[in-house]
Amino acid sequence: MELANTLSQDGESRRGVLAHLERLETQVSRCRKKLEEPQSAQAVESALGTRIHELRRLRDKLRAEVKQHQARVKASTTNVEPDQTLEITEQEFLKRKRENVKAILQAYRFTGISGKLTSRGVCVCIGTAFEGNLLDSYFVDLVMQKPPQIHHHSIPVFIPLEEISAKYLQTNIQHFLFTLCEYLNAYSGRKYQADRLQSDFAAFLAGPLQRNSLCNLLSFTYKAEPEGQSFPFCARLLYKDLTTTLPTDVTVTYQGTDALSTTREEQRAAHENLFFTKPLHQVFTSFASKGDKLDMSLVS
């Protein structure tokens, strides 16, 4: 365009035009050279890149073909030698095996005791559950020297860890761990029951549920029917054995004296029996579904 414009402007003098053209030509070619030098290098490089890319693709395709070819050769000859075809499948095999072992290691969490090796020993994870509900987990970091020692742990302070470890840690780690499991699961189970009572059956409770940190002493005032006009019962549940989720002592009392005291007494006794044999929230589920009918049927 520039060239054309220049031409039309200086159209009168042919010599002048030619000379001008010549000047422009040299100018242009000089410019081009300047531009082309780095460009050509780039072009070559990118062309090389594309070529390498293509070559790699071709190479990979041929390699695959050769591999098939080789497999056929392998199959047709009796002369068995370890070769690269096997190496590939062995890798596949190793990978699969590794995934399998990894999965099994993870599956240990379903036994309630899983663990991870550390530089000094093992970090054991203890899972807790109550009737299918998976609850909190705790860890014990053990240094596996003689005798084994607890390095860190997340066991609540009120669990008698020291007592358990003094008894069993040095003589029988397996027994130590399962005993700890028993304590932790029982604690989680008691806590779960109390929590469920508070959250799901608040309407039955006349006042707050009182509990200690171990959740092995619970006391609460309740009504067997949420809308009932009757006087409430007072329950006191004690779990003397720290490895249980059902109480060892149950006391149910009632306040006030009404005319139907024999019925009240029957209810009281029936409730006590229920608290002894069923998890707390299940007792209240039965209150909710059947009212007092259930208690009466138990008594008669």
Partner 1 sequence: MDSQRAEARALEAEITALRRACVEPPAPGEDTSRVRKSFREIYQADSEGWELSKDLRSHLGHLESELQFLSTLTGISIRHYSKKTEDLTSTEMTEKSIKKVLQRHRLSGDCHMITFQLEFQLLEIQNEESLSSVITDLSIIMEPTEYSELSEFVSRAEERRDLFMFFRSLHFFVEWCEYRKRTFKRFKEKYPEAVHLSEGASSSCMGIRSPSRPGFELVIVWRIQIDEEGKVLPKLDLLTKVPLQALELDKNGVIETAPLSFRTLLGVLGIEATLESLIKSLHTEASN
The answer to the question of residue 293 lying near partner 1 (CB under 8 A) is no
Least distance in angstroms from the C-beta of 148 to partner 1? 11
d(C-alpha 194, C-alpha 280), whole Å: 7
Nearer to partner 1 among residue 123 and residue 234 (C-beta): 123
* Chain CA centroid to CA 225, Å: 40
Q: How far is the CB of 16 from partner 1 (least distance, A)?
A: 47
Given the complex with partner 1, which of 89 and 261 has the nearer CB atom?
89
Find out whether 282 and 292 touch, Cβ atoms under 8 Å. no
CA 274 – CA 295 distance, rounded (Å): 9
Closer residue to partner 1 in complex, CB, 26/248: 248
Cα–Cα dist 108/204, whole Å = 40
Nearest to 184 by CA among 117, 220, 137: 137
Gap between the Cα atoms of 247 and 241, Å rounded = 8
Region from 9-17, 57-65, 221-229, 230-238 binding partner 1, contact rule CB under 8 A: 57-65
Contact region with partner 1 (CB under 8 A), list: 15-23, 64-72, 193-201, 217-225 = 64-72
C-alpha closest to that of 216 among 160, 263, 269: 160
Stretch that binds partner 1, among 2-10, 61-69, 281-289, 291-299 (CB under 8 A): 61-69
Residue pair 186/176 in contact by the 8 Å Cβ criterion: no
Cβ-proximal residues to 209 (8 Å cutoff; 6+ apart), any chain: 194, 197, 198, 218, 219, 220
Nearer to partner 1, 83 or 225 (CB): 83
Site string for partner 1, 68-87 (x = CB under 8 A): -xx-xx--xx---x-xx--x
- Interaction pattern, residues 156-185, with partner 1; x per rule: CB under 8 A: -----------------xxx-xx--xx--x
Rounded Cα distance, 209 and 232, in Å: 14
CB of 102 to partner 1, least distance (A): 6
Closest to 109 (Cα-Cα) out of 132, 130, 126, 131: 126
Q: Secondary structure of the chain: what % helix, strand, coil (to 5)?
A: 60, 15, 25
Query: What does 273-285 look like in DSSP terms, one character per residue?
Result: HHHHHS-HHHHHH
- In the bound state with partner 1, the residue whose beta carbon lies nearer, of 127 and 232, is 127
State which of positions 95-154 bind partner 1 (CB under 8 A).
95, 97-98, 100-105, 107-108, 110-117, 122, 124, 127-134
Q: Which is nearer to partner 1, 132 or 256 (CB)?
A: 132
Q: Which of residues 237-256 bind partner 1 (CB under 8 A)?
A: 243-246
Identify the residue among 91, 210, 261, 297 touching partner 1 (CB under 8 A).
91
What distance, in Å, lies between the first and last C-alpha atoms of the chain?
A: 113
Which residues of the shown chain bind partner 1 in the complex (CB under 8 A)?
41, 44-45, 48-49, 51-52, 55-56, 58-59, 62-63, 65-66, 69-70, 72-73, 76-77, 81, 83-84, 87-88, 90-91, 94-95, 97-98, 100-105, 107-108, 110-117, 122, 124, 127-134, 173-175, 177-178, 181-182, 185, 243-246
